[in-house]
């Protein structure tokens, strides 16, 4: 019991560096929701049950733009489908955890808590369910509260400023990516993936007329696949 409580507290502690990011993003999400015409109750329910920064911004944008409910649901599903892959990846580090514990950990997983957890697995090839619960719950509670504050104080900030706050989601994820890169023991392989993706984006942007979002996603998938093959070949050669 003491070990569980200690792990839970450590999870809360490890979440602290991302709290400011959650508050800036959550405040922006709540403010944009309020400005878009949603009630405080709507915003609380969205932040609590959707619980996905990028999907929440997308929901507000599509809904106010007059998109149909079916289209909104499909768009949100596509944006959030990455969590299936992220949860599957994290599951292998929960040695001895039950299906229920893995489900709870995956259900509350975000890009930011995934980034923090990956950093921990770089140091220790195992995760505690109670550590992950402390990490995830801290993020979840702060997300909902920051959305509430954003919705309440939306009328006191300029609309143009609240729109720009949405970039904090991207900024925080970039920061976590950089931290993961420097703590990784596969820097050369990850740098190769970055270079391949960058080259593909530049070449396809010059020679083909692709949507910018699809371009980034497609290039990332291709570069990650190439590096996964390289990693598998290297592992086979060493064995």
Q: Do the beta carbons of residue 166 and residue 32 sit within 8 Å? A: yes
Domain locations in the chain as residue ranges: 2-184, 186-239
Q: How much of the chain is helix, strand and coil, in % rounded to 5?
A: 85, 0, 15
List Cβ neighbours of 192 (8 Å cut-off, separation of 6 or more).
223, 227, 230
64-82 pLDDT tens trace? 888 788 888 887 887 788 7
180 exposure class (CB count in 10 Å sphere: 0-12, 13-18, 19+): middle
The pLDDT of residue 211 is above 80: no
Q: What integer pLDDT is reported at residue 4 of this predicted model?
A: 84
What are the tens digits of pLDDT across the range 166-208?
Answer: 566 566 566 656 766 776 677 788 888 888 888 988 888 887 7
Please indicate, yes or no, whether the overall pTM of this predicted structure exceeds 0.75. no
Residue 162 has pLDDT above 70, yes or no: no
Structure tokens given for 227: 């590096």
| Inter-residue contact 27 to 143 (CB < 8 Å) | no
Contacts of 38 (CB under 8 A, 6+ apart): 46, 60, 151
- Would the pLDDT of 10 be above 80? yes
Mean pLDDT of the region 45-60: 86
């Amino acid at each position: 019991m003491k070990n569980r409580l200690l792990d839970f507290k450590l999870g809360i502690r490890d979440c602290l560096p991302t709290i400011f990011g959650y508050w800036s993003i959550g405040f922006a999400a709540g403010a944009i929701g309020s400005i878009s015409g949603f009630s405080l109750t709507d915003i609380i329910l969205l932040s609590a049950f959707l619980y996905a920064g990028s999907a929440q911004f997308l929901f507000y944008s599509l809904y106010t733009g007059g998109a149909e409910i079916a289209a909104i649901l499909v768009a949100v599903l596509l944006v959030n489908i990455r969590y299936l892959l992220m949860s599957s990846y994290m599951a292998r580090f929960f040695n001895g955890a039950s299906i229920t514990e893995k489900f709870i950990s995956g259900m509350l997983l975000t890009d930011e808590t995934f980034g923090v957890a990956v950093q921990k697995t770089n140091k220790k090839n195992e995760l505690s369910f109670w550590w992950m619960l402390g990490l995830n719950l801290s993020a979840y509670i702060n997300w909902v509260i920051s959305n509430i504050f954003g919705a309440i104080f939306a009328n006191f900030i300029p609309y143009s400023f609240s729109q720009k706050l949405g970039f904090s989601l991207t900024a925080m994820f970039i920061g976590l990516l950089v931290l993961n890169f420097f703590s990784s023991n596969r820097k050369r392989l990850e740098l190769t993936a970055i270079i391949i993706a960058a080259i593909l984006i530049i070449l396809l942007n010059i020679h083909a007329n692709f949507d910018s979002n699809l371009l980034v996603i497609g290039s990332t998938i291709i570069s990650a696949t190439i590096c996964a093959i390289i990693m598998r070949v290297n592992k086979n050669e060493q064995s």
